[in-house]
C-alpha cells in the first residue's frame, strides 16, 4: 500500500509478538513485550509500508527478513531492541493490527487485548472482548511453555527419555499474568491466581488466596484477599477480605456489571452481588445478593423501610450488617471510612 503525506492512519493498537503454535500450525498463545496503544499515524504509516498492511484488524506473520526491514523504521529504541531479539528466534512471530475495537476474530488479537488490560492501557469493561472464549484455545501451561493438550503425552515422554520431568501447572484458556506482564508497583503472593487480562493498579497487593480474573480490576491501591470476578472493578483504597467474593457475569451475576467504590471493605467470607458506591462496608460472613431483603435504617438507626438490596445498588456510605438479635440484614449509615496502611501498599 502506498500512503500519501495527507493520509491519517489511525489504529486502536499495534504490537509485535512472539508465540507458540501447535503441530497443526494453529496459534496457542502470543507474548507482546511492549504493545502500541493508539500509535501515532507516522509510526503506523512506516510500519504498514514495510509489512503491506492496508486496513482492518489482521495479523501478519513476521519472517526474519521482514523484522530486519522493520527495525530501521521503528522510532522507539526499546522496540528496536525487541525486534533485534526476535529476529533470530525460530519461534513464530506476528504483527497484530487492531484498527477498531470490534469483536475478536483471532488468537493473536485476543492476546493483544488481554495485554492491553494488564499493561493498564484500558480499564475493565472498556474494551470489546466478545468472542474471547472461542478465540483462546485450551492450553497445557508447562515448565517448557505452552503445549496443545493433545500433544502433551509426546512431550512428557520426550522429557522423561532425557531424564527430565515436564511439569504441567495448569490446563486452561488463560495463562497467568506474570508470565506476560508485570505491572509496576504491585505485590502478588501467588502469581497463578492472577490471570492475563487482569488490571492491577499501582500499590495493589494480592495475597495468597486472592484471585483476579481477566477483565477485572483494582484501580489501586487495593488489598485483595478474596475473589475479584470477571468484569468487577474496585476503586482505590478498597479491601476485599479473606475468602470474600464478588459476583461476576460469568458466575451467576447475569448482565449486572459490578463495581466497588473507593474506601470500601468487604469483610472476610462476605460478598456482594450488587454494585457498591464509596465508603461501603459488608460485615464478615454476610453475602448480599440483589434479592436480599434489607431493613434500611437512618443515621440514628431508626427504621426507614424494607427493600431488596438491588434498590440500594451504587449508593455511598452503606454498612450492611446482620442484626445479632433478630438475624435481619440491616443497611445502616456507615459512620467510619476505612483506610489502607500506606506502608503495606508502597511497592516501589
Q: Report yes or no: 17 and 93 within 8 Å, Cβ to Cβ.
A: yes
Q: Report yes or no: 104 and 113 within 8 Å, Cβ to Cβ.
A: yes
Strand partners, 172: 139
- In whole angstroms, how far apart are CA 28 and each of 87, 136, 146, 165? 20, 8, 7, 22
Q: Quick one: which of 258, 257, 263, 256 has its CA closest to 240?
A: 263
- In whole angstroms, how far apart are CA 306 and each of 174, 221, 283, 319? 43, 35, 19, 15
Q: In 3-state terms, what secondary structure has residue 111?
A: helix
User: Measured between alpha carbons, how far is 281 from 299 in angstroms, rounded to an integer?
Assistant: 15
Q: In what order do the strands lie in the sheet with 145-147?
A: 145-147, 139-142, 168-172
Q: In what order do the strands lie in the sheet with 239-240?
A: 187-188, 205-206, 223-224, 239-240, 265-266, 281-282, 318-322, 329-333, 293-297, 303-308
Cis peptide before 309 (omega within 30 of 0): no
Q: Quick one: which of 290, 303, 291 has its CA closest to 330?
A: 303
Q: Which residues are catalytic?
A: 225
Q: Quick one: which of 201, 205, 203 has its CA closest to 216?
A: 201
Sign of CA dihedral 26, 28, 33, 36: positive
User: Measured between alpha carbons, how far is 244 from 85 in angstroms, rounded to an integer?
Assistant: 43
Amino acid at each position: 500500500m502506498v500512503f500519501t503525506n495527507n493520509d491519517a492512519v489511525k489504529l486502536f493498537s499495534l504490537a509485535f509478538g512472539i508465540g507458540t503454535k501447535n503441530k497443526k500450525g494453529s496459534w496457542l498463545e502470543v507474548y507482546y513485550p511492549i504493545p502500541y496503544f493508539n500509535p501515532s499515524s507516522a509510526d503506523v504509516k512506516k510500519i504498514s509500508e514495510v509489512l503491506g498492511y492496508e486496513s482492518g484488524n489482521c495479523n501478519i506473520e513476521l519472517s526474519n527478513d521482514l523484522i530486519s526491514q522493520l527495525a530501521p523504521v521503528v522510532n522507539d529504541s526499546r522496540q528496536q531492541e525487541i525486534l533485534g531479539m526476535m529476529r533470530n528466534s525460530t519461534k513464530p512471530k506476528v504483527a497484530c493490527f487492531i484498527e477498531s475495537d470490534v469483536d475478536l476474530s483471532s488468537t493473536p488479537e485476543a492476546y493483544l487485548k488481554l495485554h492491553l488490560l494488564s499493561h493498564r492501557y484500558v480499564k475493565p469493561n472498556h474494551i470489546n472482548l466478545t468472542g474471547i472464549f472461542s478465540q483462546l484455545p485450551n492450553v497445557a501451561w508447562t515448565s517448557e511453555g505452552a503445549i496443545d493438550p493433545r500433544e502433551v503425552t509426546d512431550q512428557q515422554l520426550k522429557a522423561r527419555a532425557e531424564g527430565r520431568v515436564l511439569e504441567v501447572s495448569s490446563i486452561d484458556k488463560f495463562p497467568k499474568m506474570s508470565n506476560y506482564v508485570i505491572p509496576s508497583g504491585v505485590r502478588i503472593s501467588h502469581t497463578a491466581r492472577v490471570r492475563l487480562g487482569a488490571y492491577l493498579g499501582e500499590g495493589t497487593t494480592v495475597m495468597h488466596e486472592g484471585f483476579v480474573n481477566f477483565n477485572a480490576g483494582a484501580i489501586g491501591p487495593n488489598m485483595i484477599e478474596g475473589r475479584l470476578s470477571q468484569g468487577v472493578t474496585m476503586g482505590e483504597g478498597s479491601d476485599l477480605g479473606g475468602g470474600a467474593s464478588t459476583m461476576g457475569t460469568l458466575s451467576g451475576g447475569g448482565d449486572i456489571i459490578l463495581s466497588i467504590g473507593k474506601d470500601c471493605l468487604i469483610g472476610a467470607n462476605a460478598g456482594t452481588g450488587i454494585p457498591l458506591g464509596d465508603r461501603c462496608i459488608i460485615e464478615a460472613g454476610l453475602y448480599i445478593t440483589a434479592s436480599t431483603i434489607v431493613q434500611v435504617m437512618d443515621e440514628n438507626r431508626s427504621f426507614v423501610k424494607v427493600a431488596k438490596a438491588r434498590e440500594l445498588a451504587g449508593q455511598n456510605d452503606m454498612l450492611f450488617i446482620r442484626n445479632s438479635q433478630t438475624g435481619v440484614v440491616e443497611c445502616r449509615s456507615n459512620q467510619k471510612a476505612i483506610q489502607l496502611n500506606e506502608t503495606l501498599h508502597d511497592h516501589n
